[in-house]
């Protein structure tokens, strides 16, 4: 992993200014947040930070993909989220009282990103209270989403969880899907056994709902899968 210090990273400021977090805020906010930013380049599979490391920086993805994950007690990888270009990683960790990263982050593909300072983020929140309010709103939404996810995971069937996951991908990718996780990781993410996931995919192919293999899939009957996932939809 290569760390390149830059005295003035205009590319980072331009990218950060497009983030929804900064919508409606003065142009100087993005410029201030990246004043001491440094560029990182990482190869696929390289660790960006480990669970328990001191959380001094958050990341802005410029190109490639990154993921945050933990290992389960039996050693399986559980990927919690995949980050795309333009997204921020670990900004919530900048406010945790223990000051540690709660998960491991690594490059999923060859990656270029920017390391942004925790101290500068704190200073910016004091200077621009609207930034602090937007961060608080984002974190509140993340808590709400997690509560809904726990409720869903404890009350849904394996088929419902998989259908809901595929419907979420369809909203972003269309009917031609590329799974961001391998099947073992996806099973862990959905809280089901890998054998169950494999069986469901095979059954749905046989029934004509989907076709494909490995990470590439095509949806042929979104109506049926959407009906399975409807119980995950909330009114607000």
Task: Write down the domain spans for the chain.
Answer: 2-151, 157-232
157-232 architecture in CATH?
Orthogonal Bundle (1.10)
The average pLDDT across 85-104 equals 96
* pLDDT tens figures, 175-212: 999 999 999 999 988 989 999 999 999 999 999 999 99
According to the model, what pLDDT value does residue 8 have? 46
Comparing 11-20, 86-95, 193-202, 222-231, the range with the smallest average pLDDT is 222-231
* Angle value at C-alpha 144, between 141 and 149, nearest 5 degrees: 125
pLDDT at 7 over 50: no
The average pLDDT across 138-163 equals 91
| CA atoms of 91 and 161, how far apart (whole Å) | 28
Percent of the chain with pLDDT over 90: 79
pLDDT at 1 over 90: no
Contact 90, 58 (CB under 8 A): yes
Is the CATH number 2.60.120.10 carried by domain 2-151? yes
């Amino acid at each position: 992993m290569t760390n390149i210090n830059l005295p003035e990273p205009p590319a980072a400021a331009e990218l950060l200014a497009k983030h929804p977090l900064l919508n409606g805020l003065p142009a100087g906010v993005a410029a201030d947040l990246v004043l001491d930013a440094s560029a990182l380049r990482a190869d696929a599979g390289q660790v960006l930070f480990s669970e328990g490391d001191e959380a001094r920086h958050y990341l802005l993805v410029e190109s490639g993909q990154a993921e945050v994950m933990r290992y389960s007690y039996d050693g399986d990888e559980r990927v919690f989220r995949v980050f795309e270009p333009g997204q921020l990683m670990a900004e919530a960790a900048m406010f945790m009282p223990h000051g540690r990263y709660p998960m491991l982050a690594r490059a999923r593909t060859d990656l270029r990103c920017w390391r942004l300072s925790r101290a500068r983020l704190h200073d910016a929140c004091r200077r621009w209270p609207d930034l602090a309010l937007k961060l608080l709103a984002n974190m509140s939404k993340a808590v709400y989403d997690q509560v809904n996810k726990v409720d869903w995971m404890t009350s849904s069937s394996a088929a419902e969880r998989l259908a809901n996951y595929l419907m979420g991908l369809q909203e972003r990718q269309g009917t031609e899907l590329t799974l961001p996780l391998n099947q073992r990781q996806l099973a862990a993410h959905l809280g089901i056994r890998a054998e169950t996931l494999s069986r469901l995919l095979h059954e749905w192919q046989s029934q004509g709902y989907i076709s494909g293999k490995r990470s590439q899939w095509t949806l042929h009957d979104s109506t049926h899968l959407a009906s399975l996932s409807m119980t995950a939809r909330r009114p607000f």
